[in-house]
Amino acid sequence: MNLSKSHQKVAVIERQQAVGGGCVHWGTIPSKALRHSVSRLIEYKANPLYRFTEKPQRHTFQDILNHASTVISKQSNLRSSFYERNRIHLYQGDASFVDKHTIKVQHIDGSQELLTARTIVIATGSRPYRPPSVDFSHPRIYDSDTILSLQHNPQRVLIYGAGVIGCEYASIFKGLGAKVDLINTRDRLLAFMDAEISDALSYHFWNSGIVIRHNEDFAKVETRDDGVILHLKSGKRVKADCILFANGRTGNTDDLNLEAIGLQADGRGQLKVNENYQTSIENVYAVGDVIGYPSLASAAFDQGRIAADAIAHGECAAKLIIDIPAGIYTIPEMSSVGKTEQQLTAAKIPYEVGRAQFKHLARAQITGTEVGSLKLLFHAETKELLGVHCFGERASEIVHIGQAIMEQKGPGNNVEYFVNTTFNYPTMAEAYRVAALNGLNRLCD
């Protein structure tokens, strides 16, 4: 759309029948819609207004998928309307390079056509990594794409990989009443997050009955008609009705015939780019999951916008922000932006901590979402906000208030803003005032 608005003639080649890519059809949108439905179900069951007047209901994975499919359709239709409005030509089929200016489009009916362009952008995304020793054709073995086709109602779910996707689906299945075993190949959950925040999630998982097994690697998967048994290298065996592999992703580059233009992907199928998202081939750019970190839909939008400016104008003054917020849609959510305590301590930066417990906020008490807290890290001398970390319902929304202050230049970035500003009451945003006062009161005179 940015290229079209810059008076460029643009074509998009889409493999699927509907636009939106992995974000809309298999990743971000479906999993977050599922998570929302399960979260509301948990709130309903915990609400004393309905505890004795309504018969408890047990919803299946298929039940809540209905809501997700509605959202998927709306998002895909919206994007289609954007293409039409901006006069973007859409071709359906599989794309591969003929040379650095020519793309072959293989249509579903078997026909082919060639498209030529001055500039080509690779935005093919990624797919779940599949260990070659695992038979993913078995009906009880899933990855994060195929789990959306789950037709039975598992009572016990095994999740291999405790990264963002693994933790999110652990929340979803536990919220539906299934027993969940979460296999973590590392020594802690989500180690890139602030330690206190990831510890809060670990405790919440443990308290809800999720079994977490750290520092484990799988040796083999034994399949049966009614389930699977995961054999771990430590000698343990874990039985479940089904298994979800959520242990990394691979860039979708293997079918692009990159050899034809002398471009090579790394071992994970990802492409290297410069700050304008230009590959080693001058007229070929790449954005999104196919270039790796941060592998976020939010960042991919900006990468596309920046690449389009570079293509249309030869350069782009705007760059992707350094402090990209992370939103993890577990139940409750986690979100952070900026530095962690561990990073600040290692860098020997004098900082102070301000905390606000959600259980003390009127809005959280009203809505029954009292689990969680907000944590502010700020410079002990300049009072500059250095990091915002949140665990609890609506954390992914709450964190942006702190992000807005962190992005201010000079004296505009100051934790005292939250003390001197009047917030609506009652709101979850009030946590910033509480946390700021909590931290400022710790400062030495």
Binding site listing for NAD(+): 161-168, 248
Q: How many CB atoms lie within 10 A of CB 427?
A: 14
Helix H or strand E encompassing 94: strand 94-99
Eight-state DSSP code of residue 134: S
Tell me the binding residues for FAD: 32, 124-126, 289
Taking alpha carbons only, the member of 163, 197, 1, 184 closest to residue 86 is 1
At 250, give phi and psi (nearest 5°). Answer: -125, 135
Amino acid symbol at 86: N
- At 372, is the secondary structure helix, strand, or coil? strand
Quick check: 372 and 334 in contact, CB under 8 A?
no
User: Side chain identity at 296, as an amino acid letter?
Assistant: L
**Residue 83, H or E segment:** helix 61-85
- Tokens 């705007």 appear where? 318
Give CA–CA dist 385/129, Å, rounded: 37
Strands 249-251 and 126-128: antiparallel
16 vs 10: CA distance, rounded Å: 18
Question: Tokens at residue 236, please?
Answer: 């343990």
Quick one: which H or E segment has residue 337?
strand 334-338
Alpha helices in 272-388 (DSSP H): 297-313, 341-346, 362-367
DSSP per-residue string spanning 300-318: HHHHHHHHHHHHHHS--S-
With contact defined as beta carbons under 8 Å apart, do 96 and 112 qualify?
no
- Long-range Cβ contact pairs of 145-149 (< 8 A, separation 24 or more): 145/22, 145/26, 145/27, 147/244, 148/26, 148/30, 148/65, 148/68
In terms of Cβ atoms closer than 10 Å to its own Cβ (0-12, 13-18, 19+), residue 367 is: middle
- Name the binding residues: 32, 124-126, 161-168, 248, 289
103 secondary structure, DSSP code: E
Please report the DSSP string for 379-444 in residue order: ETTT--EEEEEEEETTHHHHHHHHHHHHTS-GGGS-TTHHHHSPPPSS-TTHHHHHHHHHHHTTS-
